[in-house]
Amino acid sequence: MAGHQVTALDMAASGIDTRSIQDVRKLAEYSQPLLDFMKELPPDEKVVLVGHSLGGMSLAIAMEKFPEKIAVAVFLTAFMPDTVNPPSHVLQELFDRALPAAWMDSVFTTQDSPSEPRDTLLFGPEYMKQKLYQNSPKEDLELASMLIRPGSLFMGDLIADKKFTAEAYGSVKRVFVVCGEDLTLPAEVPALDDRKLWSNNRYHGHSKGRSYVNDFQARRSRQMPVGGCW
């Protein structure tokens, strides 16, 4: 990207961050590396934020806290909350409509804590092969299989959290990109861009695009470069 500086951030308990997901209790804590980055930005600079999958929820937190520092937020086949429902709503829709078998050999684990129940998710090898990397090079799948770590959707935290506001989160321009062959949403669940998220002019003034023949790993596009969607 000529003239632009690209920074890739690992969230807590991800990538080079050595913490265990069991030690990360809230989505804001998971997103802290992004929030720290935003806080350190000079007041005269703006960024284009790109979030993938659960990263869309981290984008939303940053948009709520630093709307004046964000030129546009790109939700790349990512969860995008609204300002009407609790933050957990878009995630809850997926679990309410998807059949358990859709997760294949993925493993859900509940941490036994009556005061603070937390669920973790570890994608299974077949789920990764058939739904996350089905169009990606074999080498990408092999590398991902070596590096895979448990994650969390932080549902307990998000159910109790406040709604995102129209004045902050809602004021930031958004672009929503759908990958045409992203199979992480089962057939029983409508595509994210066809859900109520885009109805009733709730996101009037924002944009959505489609990158065809792309699996969940959206960075690899065989027909339309993802960057051409916004």
* Residue 48, domain extent: 21-207
Q: Is residue 154 part of a domain?
A: yes
How are beta strands 70-78 and 174-179 bridged, if at all? parallel
Look at residue 214 in the predicted model and tell me its pLDDT: 53
Q: Is residue 70 part of a domain?
A: yes
Q: Is residue 224 part of a domain?
A: no
Q: Is residue 7 part of a domain?
A: no
The number of C-alpha atoms within 13 Å of 80 and in the hemisphere containing its C-beta is 31
Per-residue pLDDT tens digits of the chain, which is 230 residues long: 556 788 999 999 998 999 999 889 899 999 999 999 999 999 899 999 999 888 999 999 999 999 999 999 998 888 889 899 999 988 888 888 777 888 899 999 887 665 565 688 999 999 999 988 888 889 989 999 999 999 998 988 898 899 999 999 999 999 887 776 777 765 444 444 444 444 333 444 455 544 444 545 555 544 445 455 45
Look at residue 26 in the predicted model and tell me its pLDDT: 93
Look at residue 190 in the predicted model and tell me its pLDDT: 43
Q: Is residue 198 part of a domain?
A: yes
Backbone angles phi, psi at 219, to 5 degrees: -65, -20
CATH number at residue 99: 3.40.50.1820
Exposure b/e, 66-82, CB count within 10 A at least 16 = b: bbebbebbbbbbbbbbb
The number of distinct structural domains making up the chain is: 1
Q: Is residue 4 part of a domain?
A: no
Q: Is residue 228 part of a domain?
A: no
- Asked whether the whole model's pTM tops 0.75, one would answer yes
Q: Is residue 6 part of a domain?
A: no
